Amino acid sequence: MHKRQSLQRSAGPRGRAARARGAGVRDRARGTMVGMQASAEEILDGLDDAQRRAATSVEGPVRIIACAGAGKTRTITRRIAYACATGAWRPGATLAVTFSVKAANEMRERIAALGVDGVHVATFHSAALAQLREVWNELCEGPFPQLAERRGDLVAQACVRALNREPERRAAHDIEREIDWCKVSLIAPDDYGRVCAATRREPPAQLDVRRFIDVYRQYELEKTARLQIDFNDILLMCAHVLDAFPETAAHIRERIGWLTVDEYQDVSPLQHRLLRGWLGDNRRICVVGDPAQTIYSFAGATSYYLDDFAREFAPLAANIELSRDYRSTPPVVALANRVLSRSPERDGYLRLRAVRGGGPRVTSMIYGTDAEEARAVAAAIRRIVERGGRAADCAVLTRINGQQAVLVRALREAGVPYQVRRDAGWQQSAVADMPPADMSAIDDAAGARAGRATVSTIHASKGLEFKHVFLVGLSDGLMPFHASDDPTTLEEERRVLYVGVTRAEDALHLSYARRMNEESGFVRDVSRFLQ
């Protein structure tokens, strides 16, 4: 009992789940069944044929590839509830893994709304952390290490030791990111040189390979000396326990009889290794993902495992595609398909089919300066509100955090209440008891209640939907960012645009400004993805 509680606790208090409700957040299981076990048939109510097939394929291994707006969350929550309600699965041995605490809370709430209790829903990190804490005393003498909260200090100290100097702020940040990339990619310091040589990877902060390796090593030593672990160590340590301690591994695996992994297109080699450790010989796994929404490759995520799943886990019990887009109007769907249709990798992406009809055409505007663009967007949202719409149904999406200041100013001047969602980083929102890297990433539900428009990076808007979406800054250099010619980077940028476009339910407004401000001599051109 105690063990189960610790897993549940780690995934965040229920109050957060309750707060996560609200417009702008994905739909939740609707109906009147809260707290009451729904019948198996009721659970499948409102699913289309393909979704139903996915929900009733309760034996593993199952892969579900779903396009944006295809009801992934709806389908996997119903699948879990259906399997538990029919007695095929034991809720207490069911683990569902998501990428953020917010998504975990939402999924838990939706499963509970279908009347099924006791399913563990967690992020990779919170599940692994709870497992480690539980088995720690059996395996180790000392106290459980602390999660490093001031990673900048660790990096600075590592630089002092390895380079005899403190790094500049930007350099420290880049070094930290590279260390994270190495760890999620399972690249130890000794292997880094070979990887750079083979892939032409450049170390960060203008360090040569040797120097970066020294910093990486010193970072690990400094962390250990402080009895601390970082975010990635949680997964590394858990994977190690599963590999090296068979009895402990068997105990952990007892409660992972059925495993579901959401957003599988963004799994890292490290997460994949942990997943294999969780499974052992068990094949009762279901993964869900969309290769077109891989937007964290730069940080070590890869859609390789989603693509390779049919081979890795052959033979599959079911391999299902969900390509009906329930979210967006046909003009939005047409644009999303157009963005992907020009990709050299288009064959690997699903083509969306709009279920809804009608909808206004997608608008495109070019403004003189960023401030003009921001004022026009703020005025448009104000008009929506004056005509009876809700500010909470509006989102302004940017490529980078740095674009948001001018938008926020314009919204304030126009009297439009707003909230800002910044990039907290790919995995920074994955552990409930760890502070997000960026404390300005605010609770979206509070904003939704107050009827505030959302200003968000596209990355931070993943999984959300809004009636009116304003995609700003769509000039080459911002989208794609830096206008890199590297095909892999370009492809990721294309997917970022696709994720932005597909957040829109009803109306989508595209825009960019020709110049940053009146003084700027540089004239921008429209994004190559929209030409």
Annotated binding residues for ATP, as ranges? 66-73
Please report whether residue 29 would count as binding ligand ATP according to CB under 6 A: no
Smallest gap from residue 322 Cβ to ligand ATP (A): 7
Return the number of other C-beta atoms located less than 10 Å from residue 197's C-beta.
Answer: 10
Please report whether residue 266 would count as binding ligand ATP according to CB under 6 A: no
User: For tokens 């659970």, what's the residue?
Assistant: 43
Please report whether residue 321 would count as binding ligand ATP according to CB under 6 A: no
H or E element, residue 241: helix 231-244
Task: Compute the distance between CA of residue 155 and CA of residue 140 in angstroms, rounded to an integer.
Answer: 27
Q: Which of 10, 12, 16, 26 binds ligand ATP (CB under 6 A)?
A: 26
Q: Which stretch binds ligand ATP (CB under 6 A): 64-72, 121-129, 224-232, 519-527?
A: 64-72
Task: Compute the distance between CA of residue 35 and CA of residue 115 in angstroms, rounded to an integer.
Answer: 5
Q: Which stretch binds ligand ATP (CB under 6 A): 42-50, 96-104, 205-213, 339-347?
A: 42-50
Task: Compute the distance between CA of residue 324 and CA of residue 351 in angstroms, rounded to an integer.
Answer: 9
Q: Is the separation of the CB atoms in 356 and 387 below 8 Å?
A: no
Q: Which of 65, 68, 158, 448 binds ligand ATP (CB under 6 A)?
A: 68
Binding residue count for ligand ATP, defined by CB under 6 A: 21
Task: Compute the distance between CA of residue 426 and CA of residue 219 in angstroms, rounded to an integer.
Answer: 21
Q: Which of 47, 103, 207, 504 binds ligand ATP (CB under 6 A)?
A: 47
Q: Which stretch binds ligand ATP (CB under 6 A): 17-25, 43-51, 179-187, 198-206?
A: 43-51
Binding mask 269-308 for ligand ATP (x = CB under 6 A): ---------------------x--x---------------
Q: Which stretch binds ligand ATP (CB under 6 A): 44-52, 300-308, 329-337, 359-367?
A: 44-52
Interface with ligand ATP in residues 416-475 (CB under 6 A)? 463, 465
Task: Compute the distance between CA of residue 374 and CA of residue 493 in angstroms, rounded to an integer.
Answer: 22
Q: Find residue 397's DSSP bridge partners.
A: 456, 471
Tokens of 281: 């010989």
CB-count exposure of residue 35 (10 Å: 0-12, 13-18, 19+): exposed
What are the binding residues?
Answer: 66-73
Q: Is the separation of the CB atoms in 22 and 392 below 8 Å?
A: yes
Task: Compute the distance between CA of residue 333 and CA of residue 83 in angstroms, rounded to an integer.
Answer: 32
Question: Quick one: 325 or 476, whose CB is closer to ligand ATP?
Answer: 325
Question: Quick one: 370 or 465, whose CB is closer to ligand ATP?
Answer: 465
Please report whether residue 359 would count as binding ligand ATP according to CB under 6 A: no
Please report whether residue 260 would count as binding ligand ATP according to CB under 6 A: no
Question: Quick one: 8 or 329, whose CB is closer to ligand ATP?
Answer: 329
Task: Compute the distance between CA of residue 44 and CA of residue 351 in angstroms, rounded to an integer.
Answer: 25
Q: Which of 12, 24, 61, 69 binds ligand ATP (CB under 6 A)?
A: 69
Q: Residue 285: phi, psi to the nearest 5?
A: -125, 145
Q: Which stretch binds ligand ATP (CB under 6 A): 68-76, 119-127, 150-158, 342-350?
A: 68-76
For residues 477-486, one letter each, b for 16 or more C-beta atoms within 10 angstroms of the residue's C-beta and e for the rest, the string is: bbbbeebeee
Tokens of 267: 């799994």
Please report whether residue 27 would count as binding ligand ATP according to CB under 6 A: yes
Task: Compute the distance between CA of residue 189 and CA of residue 194 in angstroms, rounded to an integer.
Answer: 10
Smallest gap from residue 121 Cβ to ligand ATP (A): 15
Please report whether residue 71 would count as binding ligand ATP according to CB under 6 A: yes
Amino acid of residue 33? M
Q: Which of 43, 128, 36, 125 is nearest to 82 (CA)?
A: 43
Q: Which of 498, 465, 350 is nearest to 23 (CA)?
A: 465
Q: Judge if the upstream peptide bond of residue 269 is cis by omega within 30 degrees of 0.
A: no
H or E element, residue 85: helix 72-85
Q: Which stretch binds ligand ATP (CB under 6 A): 70-78, 152-160, 313-321, 487-495?
A: 70-78
Q: Which stretch binds ligand ATP (CB under 6 A): 36-44, 45-53, 97-105, 202-210?
A: 45-53
Please report whether residue 70 would count as binding ligand ATP according to CB under 6 A: yes
Binding mask 495-524 for ligand ATP (x = CB under 6 A): -------x----------------------
Question: Quick one: 47 or 455, whose CB is closer to ligand ATP?
Answer: 47
Smallest gap from residue 28 Cβ to ligand ATP (A): 9
Question: Quick one: 174 or 465, whose CB is closer to ligand ATP?
Answer: 465
For residues 425-450, one letter each, b for 16 or more C-beta atoms within 10 angstroms of the residue's C-beta and e for the rest, the string is: bbbbbbbbebebbbeebeebbebbee
Please report whether residue 51 would count as binding ligand ATP according to CB under 6 A: yes
Q: Which of 66, 81, 411, 530 binds ligand ATP (CB under 6 A)?
A: 66
Binding site for ligand ATP (CB under 6 A): 26-27, 46-48, 51, 66, 68-74, 290, 293, 326-327, 463, 465, 502
